[in-house]
């Protein structure tokens, strides 16, 4: 028997695979397709203090091996998530990682404090990296000092471990990672989307109503992997890696680069069964590679 | 129930300029019910192009486990789809969304379609007719070359065609035809460009109507919030075309 | 007749298409395939003071809709380029843009001063963005003040207009662009490659000997386009845009976003005739879009 | 001259485990001369996978304007290639590089190949034989299932096979065979994994030899500096496998 379990702060994962925030809603839709209890965890859609309507449409555009999105953090707000989405998810035996977003430190603190009290929320993912909102969001993720202070503030109020979600749109991601480590973060999730744009060649107009959007999918995997590798080398925080994962070998790559678990985003849209399929294939692939447990594989690229 | 299946291509052929008729076979057909539902098609096994393409169900053949799509091959995804041949497999996710409520029609229905909005009206017309509802079809196309299924619709009821360039039928838009026809129907159903849907709604403010909307999609099942529209029902919420729609009662969607 | 000419400092281009630096060597190989005089310009491979051997192999790896490279600025050095490569290129009626690289300001200054004297070098492209050399290179491209001072120093000695090649691996590319504008740059070329990594899932080892490499190709186009759009909006410098261009519509997109000319890199490897093919298609495409001259199209996305 | 051509697939078939033989037709064949040259193949019209794949010319049929490649379908590019059928077109750039100098052999040559390094030796053997040179073929494979062209080589001269697992011929590597054979040849030619090339060079320090190298490639024509090797000829320069090679005299490449 190959051991797929992973232990990171707040999370005892039966396997390292989880859907990424924003790509799985609050689970309801995918629950029509398979039993969510199979998943290692679920990262739910970003939650803000108030209901957010998000951006005008079109909100998505396809690019070479990738897509742009500018959803703009549409969500039913803390109330709705806390009182309706989270209780609904309790029927599944799966830890929830709540994605927290906001435009001010107070926003983050308010959501973190409340949502971390939900019984099935085992960790928070603080989204300081959303490229699709005008204020806040990404600015918290680009300045190390700001990121550190936000981490501190959130840590103070959270009842569960806090993971900070890093933006790839920075000169030096390691400095941000170190800053949130200083701020007391329990872990890091990375990467969020790269800021990109698509134009309609016929008209010259941006395809996405918001003009720019976040690039995700296989196109960004090399960037994500490089960043996970660097951060894992230079900090001690556990990392949940993501960016362009579509199959079991992508998961192997992120684990090798130093991630302790792996999130799957865009690929859910292409193959809604991608998470359980990867989970199903992991034991055999580990066996083929000569590993008895997942933990042995984590970070092996650094040990070569 | 929504299924994901590698369905077998039974037939594919061009039926008008850039327009293809594609019939596939598989167990997923069992799940199909309402006309106006759609499927989300993955055109390649690779991740390039990445996203699935939403295509309406144009007709269902439960007996043979088959259904037919009619689509315009324009962008790179639909062009790849157009290369599929009988015997190939394609990955289909569906059926998705809520279709046209056939039970709402009483005696006579207007089916108003434009361009690639026409296909779902065909299965709708079939189902309405089999319930004894009279259907009148008002269909708009770019030009004569772009017209498809005229005969098939004629076999089911009165069929009026408009072409933008006047090369066949009435010159202009479907609204030009609507203006001429008596309003002797109880329910209308429409699918086509948003501007057309708007015009149709304005034409019949007093009638019961159902409109099928388009939006760019990600997941196609309601999870990603890509395909939203504002709605008259709530100031603080959107509706999702993929899972709440694509068909909505007239007056619900703010487009 | 559709007018394809573009005038930007130092360069009167008969059309806006040129091969990007490092993807076309010094022209000799592609000259076997077509007449280089068809090109708008040629950006030659980076030149350093001394001969550089570059990095160990493997130097390239394929990724989804992209590739990684870590050539490491291999080149015959200033002497070789000046006395052998550039004179050879004189047989063609095409302006040369010399790509200048180094590890210290003095390196850049020395190469710029000399190479700008070559009769067919009409402009310099200062590569402050190469991700594949340990020292120098990218560090000049990530700090606005350093970038500004380097620009000043190079401008002082150069006999031809100076374009600065920006790195996309920064938090705020506009601040770098503004800094080089202050430093006296005549134009900007962008973008260089994104820093990425690929692992071999079998072994966990990086595929590229240098561990990380620069990501190029269609995968990065959305990022490149977004950056060109932003920089064009916020500076007055002419831009030569690049990143993932493979066909005429990609060129239309970069021009729409504000680039005055467009370079084609990786696509030359896939289709060695890509540059003349795009040049051939441009007039018809402009006509279809309703434009009589290229200049009208430039920056149209900002005017919508 | 190097040409880029959409060549027509004439035939494709599996000839050993994961090994395919692919014959294409077109004017580009006119340009082929030396055995050991290669072509750079674009396996899809899209940019995914992005890069061309270098494949050696395994045999040339000038009369019918055809040439044959033999390759292992392993990664995603070669797997796509393996799906091509007669009638399909593939985009070929070539012929590229410098091949084996057949004129260097005097009377008897050893042709030493390993795995997917074997294919170019076949055209080489043909050309040497047609010049009246006796050829001895020493070929290494993983296992019996991986062997191809044994009969074809036998038809041209003495042929010795080694398999790593001993399932056919001598157990072990080609070097095990070389140790047994008399050194009664004037020139050797070799293509295969770098470790094999090294071993062969060590085995015959006094002989005239030519070795064909592999490297990851970008452009395939000498412009991108991806495919370099250090060389004994210069401390300050590299040689490029794609345009200076892939065949080099023994002793030139530092691998
Ligand atoms: C519910 C629904 C039902 C549809 N039914 C049909 C049908 O029966 N027949 C038919 O021909 N077309 C139909 N369409 C439109 C069809 O989805 C698009 O024409 C198709 O996705 C375009 O893909 P492409 O590869 O040609 O274009 P590309 O330009 O390559 O597409 C790029 C991206 O934009 C999306 N996109 C482009 N145009 C549209 C559009 N008009 N609507 C939604 N997404 C778009 C694509 O799905 C893809 O994600 C339907 C759309 C929706 C939302
Ligand atoms: C001059 C030359 C001649 C060759 N001749 C033959 C031949 O006749 N038959 C044959 O089966 N193989 C030959 N090869 C090896 C062949 O190029 C690779 O097996 C092939 O490129 C792998 O592609 P893939 O799609 O299977 O793998 P992928 O893993 O998808 O390849 C990813 C990238 O790595 C490159 N790559 C992977 N393996 C190699 C390799 N061994 N050498 C060079 N690049 C590699 C690919 O070209 C591609 O750019 C030759 C290589 C060279 C350099
Ligand atoms: C449609 C969409 C919506 C997203 N919404 C969120 C979000 O609400 N919060 C967040 O932290 N990340 C969000 N992301 C980013 C993903 O969680 C993930 O970090 C990114 O897409 C990279 O992974 P991928 O390439 O597997 O998609 C979103 C991504 C997509 C494609
Ligand atoms: C193999 C290779 C070598 C490169 N060498 C250089 C270089 O020497 N100097 C430079 O400024 N950019 C270099 N680049 C970057 C390109 O000029 C270009 O900025 C980048 O590849 C993005 O364009 P593309 O996507 O069209 O390739 C190189 C790129 C590649 C792929
Ligand atoms: S497409 Fe994802 S919610 Fe509709
Ligand atoms: S592959 Fe580009 S130089 Fe050899």
Which of A45, A58, A218 is facing B216, going by the closest CB pair? A58
Decide if A44 contacts A77 (C-beta within 8 A). Answer: no
**Do C184 and C151 meet the contact criterion of CB atoms below 8 Å apart?**
yes
Q: Which of D131, D132, D134, D232 is nearest to D187 (CA)?
A: D134
CB atoms A24 and B223 under 8 Å:
yes
Look up residue B86 and give its two tokens.
């009988």
Q: What is the arithmetic mean of pLDDT over A110-124?
A: 97
**Percentage of the residues of chain B whose pLDDT score is greater than 70:** 100
Question: Which one from C13, C44, C111, C130 is the annotated catalytic residue?
Answer: C130
Show which of residues 36-55 on chain B sit within 8 Å of chain C, judged by CB atoms.
47-48
Expressed in angstroms and rounded, the spacing between residue A263 Cα and the centre of ligand 5 is 20
State pLDDT tens for residues C150-159.
999 999 999 9
- Give which of D111, D114, D149, D112 is closest to D127, Cα–Cα: D111
Cα angle C242-A218-B218, degrees, rounded to a multiple of 5: 100
What's the pLDDT tens digit per position in B40-88? 999 999 999 999 999 999 999 999 999 999 999 999 999 999 999 999 9
d(CA D183, CA B123): 79
Q: Is the CB of B55 under 6 A from ligand 1?
A: yes
**Tell me, what DSSP letter sits at residue B27?**
G
Degrees (nearest 5) of the Cα angle D190, C61, C277? 95
Active site residues of A: 130
pLDDT tens digits, one per residue of A37-47: 999 999 999 99
Q: Is D214 in the pocket of ligand 2 (CB under 6 A)?
A: yes
**What is the phi-psi region of residue D235: left when phi exceeds 0, alpha when psi lies from -120 to 50, beta otherwise?**
alpha
Of A84, A136, A77, the closest CA to residue A111 belongs to: A77
CA distances in angstroms from A3 to A172, A264, B24, listed in the order given: 35, 20, 41
* Beta carbon of D110 within 6 Å of any ligand 2 atom: no
pLDDT in tens, C215-245: 999 999 999 999 999 999 999 999 999 999 9
**Secondary structure of residue A284 in the 3-state scheme:** helix
- DSSP H or E run through B187: strand B187-191
**Which of B187, B175, B192, B194 has the alpha carbon at shortest distance from B253?**
B194
Supply the pLDDT for residue B237.
Answer: 81
The predicted pLDDT at position A132 comes to 62
Local structure of D20: helix, strand or coil: strand
The answer to whether residues B188 and B109 touch, using CB atoms and an 8 Å cutoff, is yes
As a whole number, mean pLDDT of residues A147-166 equals 97
What is the pTM for the complete model shown?
A: 0.97
pLDDT > 90: percent of chain C: 91
**C233 vs chain A: nearest CA distance in angstroms?**
13
Q: How far is D46 from chain B (nearest CA, A)?
A: 8
Q: How many CB atoms lie within 10 A of CB A175?
A: 14
Mean pLDDT (whole number) for A194-218:
97
Measured in Å, residue B54 CA sits from the centre of ligand 1 at: 6
The Cα D30–Cα D36 span in angstroms is 16
Average pLDDT over residues A99-110: 94
Of B2, B77, B216, the CB nearest to A60: B216
Predicted pLDDT at C1: 79
Which runs of E-coded beta strand occur in chain D? Answer: 3-16, 19-25, 38-42, 53-56, 59-61, 66-72, 89-96, 108-114, 134-141, 159-163, 170-171, 187-191, 208-212, 228-231, 234-240, 247-249, 253-254
Q: Find the Cα–Cα–Cα–Cα dihedral C248, C253, C255, C261, rounded to 10°.
A: -50
Give the number of the atom of ligand 4 that is nearest the alpha carbon of residue C66: 25
Q: Give the pLDDT confidence score for residue B234 in this predicted structure.
A: 82
Which is it for the CA torsion B71, B74, B75, B77, positive or negative? positive
Q: What is the pLDDT of residues A229-242, one digit of tens each?
A: 999 999 999 999 99
Cross-strand pairs, B248: B211
Give the one of C28, C54, C217 whose C-beta lies nearest to D225's C-beta: C54
Element (H, E) at A111: helix A105-115
How many residues would you count in chain A?
A: 304
Distance between start and end Cα atoms, chain B: 29
φ/ψ of B120, rounded to 5, equals: -65, -20
Mean pLDDT of chain C: 95
Instruction: Using most ligand atoms within 8 A of CB, pick from D22, D53, D219 the residue to mutate for ligand 2.
Output: D53
D10-64 pLDDT, tens digit each: 999 999 999 999 999 999 999 999 999 999 999 999 999 999 999 999 999 999 9
Question: A234 and chain C: CB distance < 8 Å anywhere?
Answer: no
Q: How confident is the model at residue A131 (pLDDT cuts 50, 70, 90)?
A: low
Q: In the predicted model, what is the mean pLDDT of residues B197-209?
A: 92
The beta-strand segments (E) located in chain A are 6-8, 11-13, 17-19, 42-43, 60-63, 66-69, 96-100, 121-127, 162-165, 187-190, 194-197, 212-216, 239-242, 261-264
Q: For D136-161, what is the mean pLDDT?
A: 96
Tell me the C-alpha distance between C18 and C131, whole Å: 22
Rounded to whole angstroms, the Cα distance separating A293 from B101 reads 53
DSSP-derived 3-state class of residue B91: strand
A vs B, Cβ pairs < 8 A, gives 104
In this predicted structure, what is the pLDDT of residue C131? 66
In DSSP notation, A161-198 reads -EEEEPPS-SS-HHHHHHHHHHTT-SEEEE--PEEEE-
CA distance C171 to chain A (A): 4
For chain D, the average pLDDT equals 95
Query: What pLDDT sits at residue A136?
Result: 53
Q: What confidence category does residue A137 fall into, taking pLDDT thresholds of 50, 70 and 90?
A: low
pLDDT of residue D15: 97
**Distances, alpha carbon C213 to alpha carbons A166, A222, C70, C220, C271, in Å:** 21, 9, 5, 14, 22
pLDDT of B153 > 70? The answer is yes
| CA dist., res. A224 & res. A207, Å (int) | 25
Residue B68 Cβ inside 6 Å of ligand 1? The answer reads no
H or E, element range at A295: helix A294-297
- Around ligand 6, the residues with Cβ closer than 6 Å are D 217-220, 222-227, 240, 242
- For residue A135, pLDDT over 60 is answered with no
Q: Which atom of ligand 6 is nearest to the CA of C60?
A: 1
Exposure string for A106-135, b = 16+ CB within 10 A, e = fewer: ebbbbbbbbbbebebbbbbbbbbbbbbbee
Please give the Cα distance from D203 to A113 (Å, whole number): 73
Phi and psi at C188, nearest 5°, equal -130, 140
Q: Using the mean position of ligand 2's atoms as its centre, give its distance from the Cα of residue D9 in Å.
A: 20
Is there a catalytic annotation at residue C275?
Answer: no
Interface mutation vs chain C, best among B45, B48, B75, most C CBs within 10 Å? B48
Q: Note whether C253 contacts A205, CB cutoff 8 Å.
A: no
CA of B218 to the centre of ligand 5 (A): 5
Residue C132 has pLDDT above 70, yes or no: no
CA distance A61 to chain D (A): 18
The percentage of residues in chain B with a pLDDT greater than 90, rounded to a whole number, is: 93
For the segment A7-20, the average pLDDT, to the nearest whole number, is 97
Mean pLDDT computed over B136-150: 96
CA of A170 to the centre of ligand 3 (A): 17
Q: Does residue C265 have its Cβ closer than 6 Å to ligand 4?
A: yes
Tokens of B194: 């948003």
Residues in A closer than 8 angstroms to D48, CB to CB, are 64-65
Give residue ranges of B with CB < 8 Å to any D CB.
46-48, 76
Round to whole Å and give the CA distance between C116 and C99: 10
- Rounded to an integer, what distance in angstroms lies between the CA atom of residue C221 and that of residue C243? 5
Answer whether B93's CB lies under 8 Å from B27's CB: no
Q: Strand D228-231 and strand D234-240: pairing? A: antiparallel
Q: Which of C263, C221, C259 is nearest to C20 (CA)?
A: C263
* Mean pLDDT along residues D144-162: 96
The alpha-carbon gap from C149 to the nearest alpha carbon of chain B, in Å, equals 43
Q: Which atom of ligand 2 lies nearest, measured to the CA of D212? A: 1
**In this predicted model, what pLDDT tens digit does every residue of C46-85 receive, in sequence order?**
999 999 888 999 999 999 999 999 999 899 999 999 999 9
Q: How far is CA C152 from CA A244, B115, C162, C165, C192, in A?
A: 41, 59, 10, 14, 21
Q: What is the mean pLDDT of chain B?
A: 95
The DSSP line for chain C is: --B--EEETTEEESSSEEEPTTSSTTSHHHHTTS-GGGSS-EEPPPB-SS-B--PPSP-EEEETTEEEE-----B-HHHHIIIIIHHHHTTSS--EEEEE--SSHHHHHHHHHHHTTSTTEEEEEEE---TTSSSSTHHHHH-HHHHHHHHHHHHHH-SS-EEEEPPS-SS-HHHHHHHHHHTT-SEEEE--PEEEE-B-TTT--BSSTTSEEEEESGGGHHHHHHHHHHHHHH--S-EEEESS--SHHHHHHHHHHT-SEEEE-THHHH-TTHHHHHHHHHHHHHHHHT-SBHHHHTTGGGG-
Provide the pLDDT confidence category of residue B31 given band limits of 50, 70 and 90.
very high
Q: What is the mean pLDDT of residues B210-237?
A: 93
Whether D226 and C60 lie within 8 Å, measured CB to CB: yes
User: Within the 57-96 window of chain B, which residues sit less than 8 Å (CB to CB) from chain A?
Assistant: 77, 93
In this complex, which of C201, C222, C304 lies closest to A215 when CB atoms are compared? C222
What is the CA(A22)–ligand 3 centre distance, in A? 5
pLDDT of residue D236: 77
CA distance D51 to C62: 7
Q: Which of C65, C229, C253 sits opposite A65 (nearest CB)?
A: C65
Q: Are A100 and A126 contacting, i.e. CB atoms less than 8 angstroms apart?
A: yes
Where do we find the tokens 């447990």?
Answer: A293
Q: CA-nearest residue of chain B to C219?
A: B48
Tell me the chain C residues in contact with residue B47 when contact means C-beta distances shorter than 8 Å: 64
Give the residue whose CA is nearest to atom 22 of ligand 3: A243
State the pLDDT at residue B255: 79
Q: Does residue C138 register a pLDDT over 80?
A: no
Contact in structure between D97 and D38 (CB atoms under 8 Å): yes
Of all residues in chain C, the percent with pLDDT exceeding 70 is: 97
Those chains having 3 or more beta-carbon pairs within 8 angstroms of chain C are A, B, D
């Amino acid at each position: 028997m190959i051991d797929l379990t992973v232990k990171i702060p707040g999370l005892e994962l039966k396997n390292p695979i989880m859907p990424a925030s924003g790509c799985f809603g609050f689970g309801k839709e995918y629950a029509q397709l398979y039993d969510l209890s199979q998943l290692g965890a679920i990262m739910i859609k970003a939650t803000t203090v108030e209901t957010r309507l998000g951006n005008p449409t079109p909100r998505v555009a396809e690019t070479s091996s990738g897509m742009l999105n500018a959803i703009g953090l549409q969500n039913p707000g803390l109330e709705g998530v806390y009182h309706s989405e989270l209780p609904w998810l309790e029927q599944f035996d799966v830890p929830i990682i709540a994605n927290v977003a906001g435009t001010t430190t107070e926003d983050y603190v308010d959501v973190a404090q409340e949502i971390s009290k939900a019984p099935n929320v085992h960790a928070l993912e603080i989204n300081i990296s959303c490229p699709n909102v005008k204020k806040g969001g990404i600015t918290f993720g680009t300045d190390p000092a700001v990121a550190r202070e936000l981490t501190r503030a959130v840590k103070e109020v959270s009842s569960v471990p806090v993971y900070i979600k890093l933006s790839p749109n920075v000169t030096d991601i390691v400095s941000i990672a170190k800053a949130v480590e200083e701020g007391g973060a329990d872990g890091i999730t990375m990467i969020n989307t790269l800021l990109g744009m698509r134009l309609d060649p016929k008209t010259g107009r941006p395809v996405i109503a918001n003009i720019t959007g976040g690039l995700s999918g296989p196109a960004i995997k090399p960037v994500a992997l490089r960043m996970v590798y660097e951060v894992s080398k230079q900090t001690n925080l556990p990392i949940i890696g993501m960016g362009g994962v579509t199959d079991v070998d992508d998961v192997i790559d992120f684990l090798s680069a130093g991630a302790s678990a792996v999130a799957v985003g865009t690929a859910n849209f292409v193959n809604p069964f991608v998470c359980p399929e990867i989970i199903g294939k992991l034991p055999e692939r580990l066996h083929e590679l000569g590993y008895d447990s997942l933990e042995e594989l984590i970070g092996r690229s650094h040990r070569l | 129930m929504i299924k994901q299946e590698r369905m077998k291509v039974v037939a594919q052929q061009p039926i008008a300029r850039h327009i293809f008729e594609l019939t596939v076979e598989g167990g997923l057909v069992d799940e199909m019910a309402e006309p106006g539902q759609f499927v989300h098609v993955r055109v390649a096994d690779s991740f390039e192009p990445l996203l699935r393409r939403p295509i309406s169900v144009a007709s269902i053949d439960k007996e043979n486990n088959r259904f037919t799509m009619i689509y315009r091959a324009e962008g790179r995804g639909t062009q790849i789809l157009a290369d599929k041949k009988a015997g190939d497999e394609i990955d289909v996710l569906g059926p998705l969304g809520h279709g046209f409520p056939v039970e709402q029609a009483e005696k006579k229905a207007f089916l108003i379609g434009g361009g690639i909005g026409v296909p779902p009206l065909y299965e709708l017309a079939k189902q309405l007719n089999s319930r004894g509802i009279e259907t009148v079809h008002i269909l708009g196309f770019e030009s004569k070359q772009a017209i498809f299924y005229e005969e098939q619709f004629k076999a089911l009821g009165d069929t009026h065609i408009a072409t933008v360039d006047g090369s066949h039928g009435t010159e202009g838009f479907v609204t030009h035809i609507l203006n001429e026809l008596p309003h002797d129907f109880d329910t209308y159903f429409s699918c086509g460009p948003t501007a057309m849907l708007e015009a149709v709604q304005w034409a019949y403010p007093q009638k019961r109507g159902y409109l099928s909307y388009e939006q760019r999609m990600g997941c196609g099942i309601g999870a990603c919030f890509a395909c939203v529209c504002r709605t008259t029902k709530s100031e603080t919420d959107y509706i999702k075309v993929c899972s709440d729609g694509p068909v909505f009662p007239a007056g619900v969607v703010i487009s």
